[in-house]
Amino acid sequence: METMDIGRPMREGYTTGASAAAAMKAALLALRGEYPKMVTVLSPQHAEITVPVESASAEDGTGTATVLKDGGDDLDCTHGTPVVVTVRYTDGQGLKLRAGKGVGIVTKPGLQVPVGKPAINPGPQLMMRQVYEELAGRDRGLEVTVSIPHGEELAKQTLNPAMGVVGGISVLGTTGIVKPMSEDAYKRSLAPQLSVVKACGWRTVVLAPGRIGETAAARMGIPRDVIAETSNFIGYMMEQAVAVGFERMLLIGHMGKLVKVASGSFHTYNRNSDGRMETMAAYAALNGAGPAVVREILDCTTTDAAAAVLAREHLEAAYPQMAERAQERCERYIFGKAQVGVIFAAMDGTVIAASSRAKEITEDEQWHIG
């Protein structure tokens, strides 16, 4: 198994946008009878980026080139995937970008690209326009089709479906360079979901840490368009929702995740926070559990195991109390700038408990807690 040398700096790579621009340049050079193994393109900040070319060819007035996306040490789902670009000159003037196989089309407002256009972000568009001006000039018409053959399958591992990008992945990159993914970068990649929900006209956003929250929301009749994934960054996403302009939020997730919120933890990764058993034990005691039961809960390793103890002892009243406490903590976390309802769900998406604000919000939106 390949291992990483901890002592060396992490290797940078290049974005899908840089890959597409490089493949475009190699395809244009192929039309001239040149078949480069390396090309240099300019980033949006005008830094030179040198990219290997996997293949380049020309036939019947069409140039084609392939670049393998290299994410460096940031081995995301697109690392190693082929980015294929075809080019052909057309009558008229200007650059025309098209989405080929595996490149998504934007179907919802709120993103950087208008609805109906290929999901090629402004940074990559600028890089490709620089290639166009360098090799084609501004007076010739050029049609450029970007394809990512495995893109439709790769999109299932991204947030594209939730953000209304259909048919494949997005061509991304603000600098052309991939720096190994930091936690902060991952958090920022989640935030655009909120703008999409807002642009769709929703006044309430549903925040779901993961699949279980999404399943519960679906069972409640909540449209997929209103849901934004938070991963472990619940506090951050609430702050971003406020910044976008939401005044109401519904936080839906597995009890094991949201019990942490009841204890005041808003970054719920298990290495950062884990007071689940302590919280459940405290609420069990509040409802009459004796020392032996409290100890049994503290000795549990999962919330499901602790839930079995609560059920055996008929202490289910603890759940709405914890949900209410999570609601209070959430609204305090964002300084009362929005109303936040909280819903605890079981592994199968069944609702276990809903806070008072959650009941108000769902009734107003005509969603059904069940």
Note the pLDDT tens digit of each residue in 321-348.
999 999 999 999 999 999 999 999 998 8
Point out the domain boundary residue: 178, 199, 234: 178
Kindly report whether the global pTM for this prediction surpasses the value 0.85.
no
Q: Is residue 5 part of a domain?
A: no
Same domain for 330 and 210: yes
Number of domains in the chain: 2
Confidence (pLDDT) at 305:
87
3 domain residue, yes or no: no
Same domain, 275 and 229: yes
My answer on whether 194 and 130 are in the same domain is no
Query: Quick count: other Cβ atoms within 10 Å of Cβ 122?
Result: 13
Checking if the pLDDT of 366 tops 90, the result is yes
pLDDT over 50 at 6, yes or no: no
Q: Is residue 4 part of a domain?
A: no
Is 231 part of a structural domain of the chain?
yes
| Residues 268 and 173 occupy one common structural domain | no
Domain boundary residue among 161, 178, 195? 178
Structure-model confidence comparison of residues 179 and 244, the more confident one: 244
Regarding whether 193 and 131 lie in a shared domain, the answer is no
Band the pLDDT of 110: cuts 50, 70, 90. confident
Kindly tell me if the per-residue pLDDT of 237 is higher than 90: yes
The CATH number for 84's domain is 3.30.2110.10
Task: Give me the mean pLDDT over the 161-176 stretch.
Answer: 89
* End residue of a domain, out of 115, 150, 178: 178
- Residue 7 in this model has a pLDDT that exceeds 70: no
**How far out from the chain centre does Cα 311 lie?**
36
- Could you tell me if 268 and 251 lie in one domain? yes
Q: Are residues 162 and 232 in the same domain?
A: no
C-alpha distances (whole Å) from 99 to each of 80, 106, 242, 256, 369 are: 20, 11, 34, 42, 41
Q: Are 205 and 162 in a shared domain?
A: no
Pairing of strands 62-68, 55-59: antiparallel
* One domain for residues 258 and 277: yes
**Paired tokens of 90:** 């057309």
Lowest-confidence pick of 122-131, 135-144, 171-180: 171-180
Q: Are residues 148 and 292 in the same domain?
A: no
According to the model, what pLDDT value does residue 176 have?
83
* Pair (153, 254) in one structural domain: no
Residue 161: predicted pLDDT? 86
Name the pairing type of β-strands 339-345 and 351-354.
antiparallel
Give dist(CA 248, CA 341) in Å, integer.
8
| 320 in a structural domain | yes
Both 168 and 229 in one domain: the answer is no
Q: Write out the residue range of the structural domain in which residue 17 sits.
A: 13-178
**Mean of the pLDDT values across residues 131-158?**
93
High-pLDDT (> 90) share of the chain, %: 77
Q: How far apart are CA 276 and CA 302, in angstroms?
A: 8
Which residue has better confidence, 108 or 290?
A: 290
302 pLDDT more than 60: yes
The mean of the pLDDT values for the chain is 92
Confirm whether 215 is domain-assigned. yes
